[in-house]
Amino acid sequence: MRFVPAFVAGALFGLGLLVSGMTDPANVTAFLNVGGAWDPSLAFVMVGAIGVFAAVYRVIAPRRRSLRGGPLHLPTATHVDGALLGGAAVFGIGWGLAGYCPGPAIVSAASGAAPALVFVVAMIAGMAIAGPRRG
């Protein structure tokens, strides 16, 4: 029963990715093709998501505990380092080449789409090789 809220949130997130078209690699690569036939529609999806996050974060940030009473772990890092920039670059290159980022890839893999399944397997392998980041 304690996983129900997480499941509902994940299902809602996945549905949003489907409705917005972010699970279609063609939409993603068209958005990233700023020098060609650029499709700005995903920018509206991102701006909407950032707006919702910003509003919710203002409510959550002052809290010390989650709604279920557990500790609330918010990010504390404020510096930009080589690992952050390198990770962002690898993420962006992978997103541009494959047309997937982790969330949409998982949603697409659930449908059985072979390219998404390959992406998710490679993503999991990469995370296993890299291991958890310390500090």
pLDDT at 135 over 60: no
Q: Three-class SS of residue 62?
A: coil
Does residue 131 have a pLDDT over 90? no
> Rounded to whole angstroms, how far apart are CA atoms 7 and 82?
34
Q: What confidence tens digit (pLDDT) does each residue in 58-117 have?
A: 988 888 888 778 888 888 888 999 988 998 998 888 888 888 888 889 999 988 889 999
**The pLDDT of residue 101:** 85
Which residues are paired to 71 by β-bridges? 65
If you ran DSSP here, which 8-state letter would residue 37 be given? S
- Give residue 134's pLDDT band: very low, low, confident or very high (50, 70, 90): low
- What's the pTM value of the predicted model, to 2 decimals? 0.72
Spatial CA neighbour of 21 closest among 39, 38, 36 = 39
Long-range Cβ contact pairs of 13-16 (< 8 A, separation 24 or more): 13/103, 14/103, 14/106, 14/107, 14/110
Amino acid type, 65: R
